[in-house]
Amino acid sequence: MEARTAALLQPYVGSDSAKNDRGNLNWTAKDLAEITRRLDAEGFQIHMHGIGDRAIREGLDALAKARAANGASDLRHQIAHLQLVDPADIPRLAPLGVFANFQPFWMFADASIKESVEPLIGPERTARLYEIRSFEQAGTRIVAGSDWPVSSANPFLAIEVGMTRRDPKDPNGPVWNPAQRVSLDTLLRAYTIEGAAVNHRERDTGSLEVGKAADFVILDRDLFAIPPEDISETRVLATFVDGVQVHPPDGKAPAALRSISTREH
Q: What is the share, in percent, of the chain residues with pLDDT greater than 90?
A: 88
Q: Give Cα 97 to chain centroid, integer Å.
A: 15
Specify whether 189 is located in the same domain as 227: no
CA distance 98 to 227: 32
Nearest to 217 by CA among 205, 229, 203, 225: 205
**Dihedral (Cα; 137, 142, 147, 148), 10-degree rounding:** 120
pLDDT at 73 over 50: yes
Residue type, 52: G
pLDDT at 264 over 50: no
Specify whether 101 is located in the same domain as 56: yes
Specify whether 80 is located in the same domain as 176: yes
Specify whether 214 is located in the same domain as 197: no
CB 163 within 8 A of CB 183: yes
Q: What is the share, in percent, of the chain residues with pLDDT greater than 70?
A: 93
Domain assignment of residue 258, given as a range? 209-265
Which phi and psi (to 5°) does residue 64 adopt? -65, -40
> Domain boundary at 182, 202, 222, which?
202
Specify whether 33 is located in the same domain as 129: yes
Quick check: is 2 in a domain?
A: no
Quick check: is 148 in a domain?
A: yes
Specify whether 195 is located in the same domain as 214: no
Specify whether 258 is located in the same domain as 162: no
Specify whether 114 is located in the same domain as 218: no
Model confidence over 139-189: pLDDT tens digits?
Answer: 999 999 999 998 999 999 999 999 999 999 998 889 999 999 999 999 999
Quick check: is 9 in a domain?
A: no
Which phi and psi (to 5°) does residue 197 adopt? -65, -40
Question: Residue 62 — very low, low, confident or very high, per pLDDT cuts 50/70/90?
Answer: very high
Specify whether 231 is located in the same domain as 188: no
Specify whether 58 is located in the same domain as 165: yes
Classify the C-alpha dihedral 10-131-100-232 as positive or negative. Answer: positive
- Write down the pLDDT at residue 187: 98
Number of domains observed in the structure of the chain:
2
Specify whether 54 is located in the same domain as 184: yes
Task: Indicate the pTM of the whole model.
Answer: 0.92
Quick check: is 20 in a domain?
A: no
Specify whether 188 is located in the same domain as 231: no
Model confidence over 227-241: pLDDT tens digits?
Answer: 999 999 999 999 999
> Domain boundary at 170, 202, 234, which?
202
